[in-house]
Amino acid sequence: MNKLLAAGIVVGMVVGGAGGAFLAGRARPSEPSLSEIRRALISRQLDTAVELADRRLVVRPDDVDTRLLLGEVWQRRDDYEKAVAAYRAIPQTAEDKAFAARVATASLALQSGHLQDAEEALLLADELSPQNPLTDDQWVSVLTLSGQNEEMPAPPDNLFAKIFAVGDPLGLLGAAYTAAALGRVEQTQDLIDRCLSRRSDLVDAFVIRGMLYLDANQYEDFARFVASLPESVQQLPGYWLNCGRAAQLQGNERGAIRCYWEVLRRQPNHDRATYQMGQALATIGEREQAQRFLSRGAKLTQLQKVAIEIFDGREDAERFWECAQLTEQLGRPPECRLWCQLLLERHPTHRAARLKLQELERKWPEQPPFLLSEQDLASTFAGEKYAIPNWEASQNQPVSRFAAASQIHFVDEALTTGLDFTYFSGEDLSTPGKRMFEYTGGGVGVLDYDRDGWPDVYLTQGSHQPGDLDQSEFLDALFRNQNGSGWSSVATLARIADSGFGQGLAAADFDNDGFADLYVANIDGNRLLRNNGDGTFSRSPEFAAVARDSWSVSAAIADLNGDSHPDIYLANYLTGDDVFHRVCPDDQGVPRLTCQPLVFAAEPDQLLNSLGDGRFEDGSVGSGIDIPEGRGMGVVVGRLTQSTSLEVFVANDATANFHWIPTPSAAGQHSRLQYVDNALLLGTAVDAAGRAQASMGIAAGDAAAARAG
């Protein structure tokens, strides 16, 4: 329901309920009645309604019913100041009528961009009726617009325009949070200054300023800034979050643990602090404790993701039920009950939700606790044994990983040297929106296919549409290196005429004959090209037995099980009957630029074990990698931790990355491999806030060694 309409109903109900008692008495001759004012309001004779209300207030200056009606009249005349003045004139002692006035003020203030007025009205409303559902939505809007609620979607742009127009300090605070997230340092500093010039008590602005120091690696400035802050700022979760981040930048993991614990004492459901607490604990070897925080952090992140999808219009039963389950697992029974109620409103026959709601009502006939004590991890963790970082004694500036300016620069000489190639993504300008395959792009492989000592280049090509294998307009390309002096196109000579919709590729000697072979990942069918050793390639007939009809984006070839025969790992993306032609509309039915990857089901990755004779067997099932939520875009293989066996890292789109570690029983054995995903514990699954990113391609190297050199 529109908030303004809701506020009007509240005012109307309160005034209407009181009108009968008043009119039972006799109105004074020169005194307009409430009914006259109301009739003028309903008939939109607003000037008359104002004149009647003013005359009545001369006789009855303390009459709250008249002031409620007058506030609504000015509201309809779009006179913000006079409407708010009428509502504010109603004292708190008027109770129900005062509450109606505060709700109406908050609603009007929100629509006009006056967040500070809305906050003030809601605080007064909470004094009269704490935790009233009529003010819940309004509080969410105030917190979202002021940047203090990370779990809600962004508000409309026109509302931000109103906030800027009135220079509201809370609105400026929210804009500062947004600017900081976008990396606009100067704009953020300006917004903070403007915000504090209007309200010096907005301590959240100091938190943003601390974020800027850390983003710029100005650690000494941050330390001095923290030491100068008033004690009131130290009560904010954001203050301690900044301190935890600064401690980690200095390598002080124990100090970071104390800071993140302080965040969670104040805000037990803070997703970023929960995740970083787990990371810091894992770093000092407290793996069991780390897993508790990391597991909870993953649930908090998933809840936020699914809830935003629901707010975005995807109101299917599965998403509501997932939110109900997650809130129950997180120990938040009131929210679980609410999600069940919302689900049943839309899907009355959902049996599991009805049973869960009955269970909750039996367990808590009255209001349940917001957070169960056993799920309040900070309350059961001895965080006080870790020392708070001493900022006044800290003098060391953190070293930026890329502080030294590189002397290396590049010049694009592709065309002048003969490397002339353009990838065609299948873009169709005649139709609105874009299909998913138009975004993934092609791959490049560097290999010395003819063993002349010079690296050659293979490039995959797209097409108009996946599945059109008879087309010959767009074919993969192979460029031979002319001893460093240029490139020549040799795809035809090498008997390469791949017409598939190309994605990534991998080059390796899979048959151990000394010549690099190629594995080409296509949307419409992968190819294993055997290097014949005479400058030509041929398709491997043995590969067809294990080839899936999957959308593979990237591939890696390596001897994963240590039997001297290279195996193949395929990072697969999406699947579904409409994955190649679906275009997603927005709320108005207009095709969006693209669909979100989460709209489609994920295609599980595939592991192909080499049998040593040119044949492969599909070892995916039972290996641990055959899980449903991947959406792989990139893959790299290497000894990425202290493991003596090869690990596999997969960059996933919009879902957590995989970091596959071979299990002790499988590592080093010439057998089918088994893996466990350690990405969350190793800090490679999600970003610093514990949220999945749109990970794409990936490269690996020893950055520490490169810096040392």
CATH number at residue 537: 2.130.10
Residue 397 in domain: no
Q: Residue 80 and residue 112: Cα distance in Å, rounded?
A: 8
SS3 479: strand
Cα torsion at 226, 229, 233, 236 (round to 10°)? 0
Q: Residue 304 and residue 290: Cα distance in Å, rounded?
A: 21
**Pair 223, 273 in one domain:** no
**Pair 381, 441 in one domain:** no
**Pair 617, 477 in one domain:** yes
Report the DSSP pairing between strands 647-652 and 658-662.
antiparallel
**Pair 240, 224 in one domain:** no
pLDDT in tens, 60-69: 899 999 999 9
pLDDT grade, residue 151 (50/70/90)?
A: very low
Q: What are the Cα distances from residue 163, in Å, to 117, 206, 490?
A: 12, 20, 61
pLDDT of residue 549: 82
Q: Residue 649 and residue 698: Cα distance in Å, rounded?
A: 9
SS3 161: helix
SS3 407: coil
pLDDT of residue 498: 87
Q: Is the pLDDT of residue 11 over 80?
A: no
Residue pair 129/14 in contact by the 8 Å Cβ criterion: no
* Element containing residue 527 per DSSP (H, E): strand 527-531
Q: Is the pLDDT of residue 89 over 70?
A: yes
**Pair 322, 453 in one domain:** no
pLDDT grade, residue 311 (50/70/90)?
A: confident
pLDDT grade, residue 112 (50/70/90)?
A: confident
Q: What is the pTM of this model?
A: 0.68
Q: Is the pLDDT of residue 142 over 80?
A: no
Residue 272 in domain: yes
pLDDT, greater one: 667 or 117: 117
SS3 121: helix
pLDDT in tens, 407-451: 677 889 999 999 999 999 998 877 777 889 998 889 999 999 999
In the chain, what is the straight-line distance between the N-terminal and C-terminal CA atoms, in Å? 64
pLDDT of residue 442: 93
Q: Residue 69 and residue 32: Cα distance in Å, rounded?
A: 13
Phi and psi at residue 648, to the nearest 5°: -125, 120
Residue 562 in domain: yes
pLDDT grade, residue 42 (50/70/90)?
A: confident
Q: Residue 369 and residue 366: Cα distance in Å, rounded?
A: 10
Residue 670 in domain: yes
Q: Is the pLDDT of residue 153 over 90?
A: no
Of 179-193, 373-387, 498-512, 683-697, which gets the smallest average pLDDT? 179-193
pLDDT, greater one: 154 or 364: 364
Q: Considering the chain, what percentage of its residues have pLDDT values greater than 70? A: 86
Instruction: Check which CATH number belongs to the domain holding 321 and give it.
Output: 1.25.40
Q: Is the pLDDT of residue 141 over 80?
A: no
Closest CA to 281 of 273, 294, 290: 290
pLDDT of residue 454: 97
pLDDT of residue 130: 82
Residue 161 burial class via C-beta count within 10 angstroms: exposed 0-12, middle 13-18, buried 19 and up: exposed
Max CA pair span of the chain: 112
Q: Is the pLDDT of residue 350 over 90?
A: yes
Q: Residue 58 and residue 521: Cα distance in Å, rounded?
A: 83
**Pair 283, 193 in one domain:** no
pLDDT, greater one: 27 or 126: 126
**Pair 214, 243 in one domain:** no
**Pair 280, 218 in one domain:** no
Q: Which amino acid is at 356?
A: K
Residue 141 in domain: yes
Closest CA to 301 of 259, 273, 266, 333: 273
Residue pair 174/119 in contact by the 8 Å Cβ criterion: no
Count of other CB atoms within 10 angstroms of residue 459: 19
* Chosen domain end from 178, 196, 228: 228
**Pair 473, 583 in one domain:** yes
Range 628-648 average pLDDT: 89
pLDDT of residue 400: 42
Residue 594 in domain: yes
Q: Residue 119 and residue 68: Cα distance in Å, rounded?
A: 20
Q: Residue 26 and residue 443: Cα distance in Å, rounded?
A: 87
Range 78-105 average pLDDT: 90
- The count of C-alpha atoms lying within 13 angstroms of the C-alpha of 499, restricted to the half-sphere facing its C-beta, is 9
**Pair 210, 332 in one domain:** no
Handedness of CA 328, 329, 331, 332 (dihedral sign): negative
**Pair 63, 92 in one domain:** yes
pLDDT of residue 646: 93
pLDDT of residue 5: 39
**How many distinct structural domains can be found in the chain?**
3
Instruction: Check which CATH number belongs to the domain holding 97 and give it.
Output: 1.25.40.10
Domain residues for 443? Answer: 433-701
Please, what is the Cα angle at 511 between 676 and 515, to 5 degrees? 120
pLDDT grade, residue 317 (50/70/90)?
A: very high
pLDDT grade, residue 461 (50/70/90)?
A: very high
Structure tokens at 588: 């108005």
pLDDT, greater one: 85 or 432: 85
Report the DSSP pairing between strands 502-508 and 517-522.
antiparallel
- Running DSSP on this structure, what letter comes out for residue 45? -
Q: Which amino acid is at 424?
A: F
Residue 414 in domain: no
* Chosen domain end from 173, 199, 228: 228
Residue 402 in domain: no
* Element containing residue 197 per DSSP (H, E): helix 185-198
pLDDT of residue 365: 87
pLDDT grade, residue 605 (50/70/90)?
A: very high
Q: Which amino acid is at 625?
A: I
pLDDT of residue 402: 38
pLDDT of residue 706: 52
SS3 502: strand
Q: Is the pLDDT of residue 25 over 70?
A: no
Of 2-11, 26-35, 164-173, 236-245, which gets the smallest average pLDDT? 2-11
Range 289-311 average pLDDT: 90
**Pair 576, 654 in one domain:** yes
Of 223-227, 326-330, 442-446, which gets the smallest average pLDDT? 223-227
* Chosen domain end from 228, 253, 279: 228
Q: Is the pLDDT of residue 696 over 60?
A: yes
Residue pair 34/60 in contact by the 8 Å Cβ criterion: no
Of 291-300, 312-321, 393-402, 667-676, which gets the smallest average pLDDT? 393-402
Q: What are the Cα distances from residue 676, in Å, to 152, 628, 647, 655, 667?
A: 33, 15, 10, 17, 11
Range 260-265 average pLDDT: 96
